[in-house]
Chains A and B, each alone.
Chain A
Amino acid sequence: MKTRKRSVIILALLTLLVAACVAPAPMASDMAAEDQPVELSMWYFNWPPGYEYQAERVRIYMNDNPHVTIDFDHSIPPVGEGGFEDKVTSALATGTAPDIFAVINPQAIKLINKDQLAPIDSDAVGALGFDSVDALKASRLPGAFDSWSSADGTPYGYHWELSWLVLYCNDQHFRDAGVDPDAVAIETWDDLISVGKQVIEGNPDFYLDEDGNFKRNFIKLPMYFDDTWSMQVLTTFLAQAGGSVLSDDRMSGQINNAAGVEAVEWMMRVSQELGDPNIGPVIPGEVHAAFGSGEMTCDLAGPWMYEAFLVATESPVVESGYHAYGMPAIDAGTPGNVFWGWAWVVNAASPNKQAAWEFLRFLEADPQGQATASGIWQPLPDIEKGWGAGRVPYADLVAAAAEGGQAIFVTEHYAEVARILRGKIEAMAFEGADVQASLDEAVEEIDSILDGR
């Protein structure tokens, strides 16, 4: 009996063993995804509304995927966003860069051309939850991927943010000058100058000193002492005038042509007729702060203005009210705007690219939660309809300002070109340098850079 019982047990164990051997084994990749521990590292710069949201998403992801560990670093770089770029560049050069990091679009092409970033290829696009690269591109605003793509159109960045410029104005300042902000329509820069002069004349003590000189700006364009911001403002005006910084083949500058001169002359008119560029805040961050504190009447800023700037700083402007007027154009019928922002990229040297893309799919899977928590908009069509309509004032106008938007110009020499143009903008705005002569000088300098001289 005992022997029989033992035989049955042995037979059962053997059956189990055979069954285990015959059963289909999980795919190697599934094993890796589900069982193998994966360690990812990720960098972002120290901007609280952004990293706090990301840190929470990281925590949730690690909780749901215990085999994945993400080392998220958002420590303060040497100085601001520029310092973050330097940190990334140095880390890539020394082989110490993380698996995932954020890249602002003008910097992307430099890293793409130097083979530092992993492309969004067929494997990556699957991990991001799309059938094809075309499907991925179709899910975003037209042109959103342009400045994160190589020359053959392969995308390298998965958007965290896309921004464009929108005009915001303080209602109380309008009312103090006897101007009804609801009755005002600002479709062109001419409209803005006209309204601005009306507001200044209606409340001269606020804007002018006893000698009639500006003591406060009605508006100050956020474009001084900062290459990135100066290019955002300049290229937006250029897009409206039908001009561009570089020729189509990117081998020479052409901003000194008629369209370029027209764009810059409008910039100067707005800057110098509605304020004095030499007074008040200079650096773009301080300019936005001046709008938030009620020191300045109007400001050009991104869709993030309400959540990330006014609400986060408890601005009195939220209480007193403000209007978003979309983006004024040079000609009413031809709006224009320029896209810039940050995208997540995966290090070409990362051993965990697939896991990185899978995590990024999760990180960006709640665009409305992201927008509410951080004020950062992903470039999704109609994003404002699901989230912003009830929460963010003028979300529809802010979104509409992106229509017809185009990518900021791309060149491997972006940093040098931007520095040259910023210098000329400063000379024109602060010291009244001649527009045509300044742009001629700029093109001469740009050409020498592009020629490799």
Chain B
Amino acid sequence: MERTESLWLGRFWPDNWRYHTRMKVVGFLFTLPVLVFFLVFNIYPIVSAIVISFHEFDLFGPMTWVGLGNYENLAGNKNFWSAMRVTLSFTLFFGPPAWLIAFIFASLIREKLIGRFFFRSVFFTPTILSAVAMATAWSLLLRQNGPLNAMLGLSVSWLTKQDSALWGIVIMSVWQGVGWFMVVFLAGLQSIPQTFYEAAAIDGAGRWRLMRHITLPMLRPVFAFVVIHTIIAGMKVFTPMFIMTGGGPNNATRSMAMLIYHEGLRDLRMGRASAVSMVGFVLILILTVVQLRLFRVHEGIEE
């Protein structure tokens, strides 16, 4: 109790407050600025979006209650289902190649190779560059008669055909995302005690067995984090589509985030835009919870 009396706040404590109560209050006061920030910029917008999703609202006039009308509209709205398909496809096609390449890079960089610090910086650089600048540069690289096709000896219309445009965007996103995943994997790899490898090597384990029985199991929490991050980033993807194709050709790359932008700011249908964002929010929540559950189940079996 004496420890709090030196605090300026101490003079305001009610006499009957115990030490732990006072410490809780002090802790709360320290977190208050962040809490206020969180309430104003996170919770308030989320609650507003939920409320608006049950209304018709054009930003300028009053809101009109429509109940589940906006959600019912989505069920029969082909633009919504197209955006959902684009978003899920992007998440699925972007994640695994990015993880695989990042894991290989992290494994190589972890070795004591000449110039590994240089390569680490080179691979990470795309992550810190402007997404808009990168998307613009890649839209030049991906032209049918552009450098990428010339290098690979292909003649693919990466961004202008409906069945290849999303792949063009995935290629750019993998290139940009690999560096970040590599750093996460590298941190995970460096946290595995070297003694595990040494002990296994003494027992005659080869590289593959070390990978299978030590590295991959020990990296399970890292993989879980990476998968969740990919789901969240994939479900929110906006910039590459906006810059490289404007959602085209013929809506083949219009993601859910872009649909929200079109519905809300362009078409002034904030109610429907909020309903789409709520569906996205719930989808991310479900996928994340399922993923975490799966991870916990596996962990339990292991233990």
Q: Which residues of A contact B (CB under 8 A)?
A: 79, 86, 89-90, 92-93, 110, 114-116, 215, 224-227, 276-283, 413, 415-416, 419, 422-424, 426-427, 430-431
Q: A281–B143 contact, CB under 8 A?
A: yes
Which residues of chain B have C-beta atoms less than 8 A from A423's C-beta? 248-251
Which residues of chain A have C-beta atoms less than 8 A from B143's C-beta? 279-282
Q: A110–B268 contact, CB under 8 A?
A: yes
Of all chain B residues, the one with the shortest Cβ separation from A413 is B267
Convert B13-41 into 0s and 1s, putting 1 for each residue whose CB lies closer than 8 angstroms to a CB of A.
Answer: 00000000000000000000000000000
Of all chain B residues, the one with the shortest Cβ separation from A425 is B250
Which residues of chain B have C-beta atoms less than 8 A from A422's C-beta? 248
Q: A415–B162 contact, CB under 8 A?
A: no
Report Cα–Cα, A422/B254, bound state, in Å: 13
Q: B249–A426 contact, CB under 8 A?
A: yes
Report Cα–Cα, A416/B245, bound state, in Å: 17
Report Cα–Cα, A277/B159, bound state, in Å: 11
Report Cα–Cα, A93/B144, bound state, in Å: 42
Of all chain B residues, the one with the shortest Cβ separation from A428 is B250
Q: B144–A92 contact, CB under 8 A?
A: no
Of all chain A residues, the one with the shortest Cβ separation from B163 is A431
Q: How far is the CB of B21 from chain A (nearest CB, A)?
A: 42
Report Cα–Cα, A110/B61, bound state, in Å: 13
Q: B266–A415 contact, CB under 8 A?
A: yes
Convert B132-152 into 0s and 1s, putting 1 for each residue whose CB lies closer than 8 angstroms to a CB of A.
Answer: 100000010001110000000
Q: Which residues of B contact A (CB under 8 A)?
A: 58-61, 132, 139, 143-145, 157, 159-162, 242-243, 245-251, 262, 265-268
Of all chain A residues, the one with the shortest Cβ separation from B57 is A93
Which residues of chain A have C-beta atoms less than 8 A from B249's C-beta? 224-225, 423, 426-427, 430-431
Of all chain A residues, the one with the shortest Cβ separation from B132 is A79
Q: A93-B60, A282-B139 are in contact. Are A427 and B246 (CB under 8 A)?
A: no
Q: B157–A226 contact, CB under 8 A?
A: no
Q: B265–A86 contact, CB under 8 A?
A: yes
Contact partner of B145 among A86, A92, A227, A280, CB < 8 A? Answer: A280
Q: B139–A224 contact, CB under 8 A?
A: no
Q: A114–B161 contact, CB under 8 A?
A: no
Q: How far is the CB of B74 from chain A (nearest CB, A)?
A: 13
Q: A426–B248 contact, CB under 8 A?
A: yes
Q: How far is the CB of B234 from chain A (nearest CB, A)?
A: 21
Q: A114–B157 contact, CB under 8 A?
A: no
Which residues of chain B have C-beta atoms less than 8 A from A86's C-beta? 265-266
Report Cα–Cα, A313/B59, bound state, in Å: 40
Q: How far is the CB of B69 from chain A (nearest CB, A)?
A: 11
Q: A279–B144 contact, CB under 8 A?
A: yes
Q: A415–B145 contact, CB under 8 A?
A: no
Kindly name the residue among A92, A114, A115 whose own CB sees the greatest number of chain B CB atoms within 10 A.
A114
Q: A114-B58, A278-B157, A282-B159 are in contact. Are A427 and B250 (CB under 8 A)?
A: yes
Which residues of chain B have C-beta atoms less than 8 A from A430's C-beta? 157, 160-162, 249
Q: A426–B59 contact, CB under 8 A?
A: no
Report Cα–Cα, A135/B39, bound state, in Å: 55
Q: A416–B267 contact, CB under 8 A?
A: yes
Mind listing 24 A-B residue pairs with CB under 8 Å?
A79-B242, A86-B265, A93-B59, A93-B60, A110-B268, A114-B58, A225-B245, A226-B246, A277-B160, A279-B144, A279-B145, A279-B157, A280-B143, A280-B145, A282-B143, A415-B267, A416-B267, A419-B247, A419-B266, A423-B248, A426-B248, A427-B162, A427-B249, A430-B160
Which residues of chain A have C-beta atoms less than 8 A from B262's C-beta? 415, 419
Contact partner of B144 among A227, A278, A415, A427, CB < 8 A? Answer: A278
Which residues of chain A have C-beta atoms less than 8 A from B59's C-beta? 89, 92-93
Q: A282-B159, A413-B267 are in contact. Are A426 and B60 (CB under 8 A)?
A: no
Q: B267–A225 contact, CB under 8 A?
A: no
In addition to A115-B60, A224-B249, A282-B139, 15 A-B residue pairs with Cβ atoms within 8 Å of each other are A79-B243, A89-B59, A92-B60, A114-B61, A225-B245, A225-B249, A276-B144, A282-B143, A282-B159, A282-B160, A422-B248, A426-B249, A427-B249, A430-B249, A431-B249
Q: How far is the CB of A11 from chain B (nearest CB, A)?
A: 64
Q: How far is the CB of A345 from chain B (nearest CB, A)?
A: 15
Q: How far is the CB of B250 from chain A (nearest CB, A)?
A: 4
Report Cα–Cα, A415/B58, bound state, in Å: 14
Q: How far is the CB of B68 from chain A (nearest CB, A)?
A: 16
Q: How far is the CB of A411 from chain B (nearest CB, A)?
A: 12
Report Cα–Cα, A224/B165, bound state, in Å: 13
Report Cα–Cα, A277/B145, bound state, in Å: 12
Which residues of chain B have C-beta atoms less than 8 A from A225's C-beta? 245-246, 248-249
Which residues of chain A have C-beta atoms less than 8 A from B246's C-beta? 225-227, 283
Q: A79-B132, A226-B246 are in contact. Are A278 and B251 (CB under 8 A)?
A: no
Report Cα–Cα, A416/B61, bound state, in Å: 20
Q: A215–B60 contact, CB under 8 A?
A: no
Q: How far is the CB of B138 from chain A (nearest CB, A)?
A: 12
Q: B145–A224 contact, CB under 8 A?
A: no
Which residues of chain A have C-beta atoms less than 8 A from B268's C-beta? 89, 110
Q: B161–A278 contact, CB under 8 A?
A: yes
Q: How far is the CB of A272 from chain B (nearest CB, A)?
A: 13
Which residues of chain A have C-beta atoms less than 8 A from B266's C-beta? 86, 415-416, 419
Which residues of chain A have C-beta atoms less than 8 A from B250's C-beta? 423-424, 426-427
Which residues of chain A have C-beta atoms less than 8 A from B242's C-beta? 79
Kindly name the residue among B132, B159, B265 whose own CB sees the greatest number of chain A CB atoms within 10 A.
B265
Which residues of chain A have C-beta atoms less than 8 A from B243's C-beta? 79
Report Cα–Cα, A423/B165, bound state, in Å: 13
Q: A215–B160 contact, CB under 8 A?
A: no
Q: How far is the CB of B257 from chain A (nearest CB, A)?
A: 13
Q: How far is the CB of A224 from chain B (nearest CB, A)?
A: 7
Of all chain A residues, the one with the shortest Cβ separation from B60 is A114
Which residues of chain A have C-beta atoms less than 8 A from B248's C-beta? 224-225, 422-423, 426
Of all chain A residues, the one with the shortest Cβ separation from B249 is A426
Q: How far is the CB of A205 from chain B (nearest CB, A)?
A: 15
Report Cα–Cα, A90/B264, bound state, in Å: 10
Q: How far is the CB of B262 from chain A (nearest CB, A)?
A: 7
